[in-house]
């Protein structure tokens, strides 16, 4: 039952994000910074789900829940790296929306191709470097108790629970790194949207205000979903951890929210809908 449900969700997630990547690449009208970031966000989401879900599905199907220490560390490293890269990329997308709405006349000059590539490179590099440090910090600990991880994958809180030494200093370090990965980009997004809303409210035309809000709504919903789940899991006191509750939240942000992102971005986006129709027509014309 669980295998079938999560397999369907996984296939829908992959199909949705691959569709966004495809239409962004083939439609010249989408070769602008906003869709450059959206395309790369979908690539990250594809990799993000592939790191977690196939192993989880194999466990459901075979009943073999084993994973090697190296495999666990590798899974955690890539999971954190891709999640961190997504956090920083969402901040870059907020900056793109800020420039588009608050400084439209200079948009193409500011959001140049080199700057977009630099922002993408910074997001990915930051995510992977912080992930390497965090993974090394966790896996240098001695694990001399039960090696059974009370989770669906190798996540930070349940792995830390297995350590048999004093983990207070490590928990503080993990908390600080998670703050850097989550709260810094999140505060940048909040600052961008405060300025965006202030700029939109100065627009006299109600139609133009609605158009400006609609271009930001999808990104804001995705950011709230992503940061809301991540902050709930990683930035709270250890005393409030409840692994069974965290497992449910983890299933949501590794399976449900990635599946929703393509729908959120395309349902109210006329450019994406138009590109989808063009691709669909080309397929049938062939």
Predicted confidence band at 83 (pLDDT cuts at 50, 70, 90)? very high
pLDDT value at residue 268: 60
pTM: 0.90
What's the mean pLDDT when you consider all of the chain?
Answer: 86
- The pLDDT value given to residue 236: 75
Predicted pLDDT at 112: 94
DSSP letter for 117, please.
H
Query: Does the pLDDT value for residue 283 go beyond 70?
Result: no
Other Cβ atoms within 10 Å of 13 Cβ, number: 25
Query: Which residues in 140-169 are b (16+ Cβ under 10 Å) and which e?
Result: ebebeeeeebebbbbbbbbbbbbbeeebee
State the average pLDDT over residues 35-61.
91
The Cα 104–Cα 38 span in angstroms is 19
CA distance 168 to 138: 12
254: domain CATH number is: 1.20.1070.10
Copy the structure tokens of residue 281. Answer: 């027509």
pLDDT of amino acid 43 = 96
C-beta separation of 71 from 153 below 8 A: no
pLDDT exceeds 90 at position 121: yes
The pLDDT score that the predictor gives to residue 145 is 62
Over residues 2-11, mean pLDDT: 88
Least confident of 9-23, 77-91, 127-141, 270-284: 270-284
Residue 30 predicted with pLDDT over 60: yes
pLDDT at residue 15 in the model: 92
Q: Which domain holds residue 111?
A: 2-285
Question: Band of the pLDDT at 232, cuts 50, 70, 90?
Answer: confident
Check residue 27 and give its pLDDT: 83
pLDDT at residue 122 greater than cutoff 60: yes
Say if CB 195 and CB 66 are below 8 A apart: no
Average pLDDT over residues 132-142: 90
pLDDT at 118 over 60: yes
Q: Looking at the chain, which runs of residues are DSSP E strands?
A: none
Rounded mean pLDDT, 243-261: 85
**Which range has the worst mean pLDDT, 102-111, 157-166, 261-270?**
261-270
Spatial distance between the Cα atoms of 118 and 113, rounded to a whole number of angstroms: 9
Confidence at residue 234, expressed as pLDDT on a 0 to 100 scale:
85
141: left (phi over 0), alpha (psi -120 to 50) or beta: beta
What does the pLDDT average to over 250-256? 87
Cα of 271 vs its chain's centroid, Å: 22
Considering its fold, how many domains does the chain have in total? 1
* Dihedral sign of CA atoms 90, 96, 97, 99 in order: positive
Nearest of 238, 202, 261, 227 to residue 40 by alpha carbon: 261
Percentage of residues of the chain with pLDDT beyond 70: 93
């Amino acid at each position: 039952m669980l295998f079938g449900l999560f397999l369907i969700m996984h296939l829908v997630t992959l199909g949705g994000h691959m569709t966004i990547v495809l239409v962004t690449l083939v439609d010249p009208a989408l070769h602008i910074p906003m869709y450059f970031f959206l395309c790369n966000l979908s690539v990250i989401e594809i990799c993000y789900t592939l790191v977690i879900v196939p192993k989880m599905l194999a466990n459901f199907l075979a009943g073999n829940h084993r994973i090697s220490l190296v495999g666990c560390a590798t899974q955690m490293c890539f999971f954190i790296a891709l999640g961190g890269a997504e956090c920083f990329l969402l901040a870059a997308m907020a900056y793109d929306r800020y420039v588009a709405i608050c400084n439209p006349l200079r948009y193409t000059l500011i959001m140049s191709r080199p700057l977009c590539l630099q922002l993408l490179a910074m997001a990915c590099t930051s995510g992977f470097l912080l992930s390497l440090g965090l993974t090394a910090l966790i896996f240098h600990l001695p694990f001399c108790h039960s090696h059974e991880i009370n989770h669906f994958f190798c996540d930070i809180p349940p792995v830390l629970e297995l350590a048999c030494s004093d983990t207070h200093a490590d928990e503080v370090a993990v908390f600080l790194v998670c703050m850097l990965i989550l709260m810094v980009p999140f505060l940048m997004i909040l600052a961008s949207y405060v300025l965006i809303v202030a700029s939109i409210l100065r627009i006299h035309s109600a139609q133009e205000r609605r158009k400006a809000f609609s271009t930001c709504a999808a990104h804001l919903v995705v950011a709230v979903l992503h940061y809301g789940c991540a902050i709930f899991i990683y930035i709270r006191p250890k005393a409030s951890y409840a692994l069974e509750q965290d497992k449910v939240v983890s299933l949501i942000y590794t399976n449900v929210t990635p599946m929703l992102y393509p729908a959120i971005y395309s349902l109210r986006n006329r450019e994406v809908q138009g590109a989808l129709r063009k691709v669909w027509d080309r397929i049938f014309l062939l």
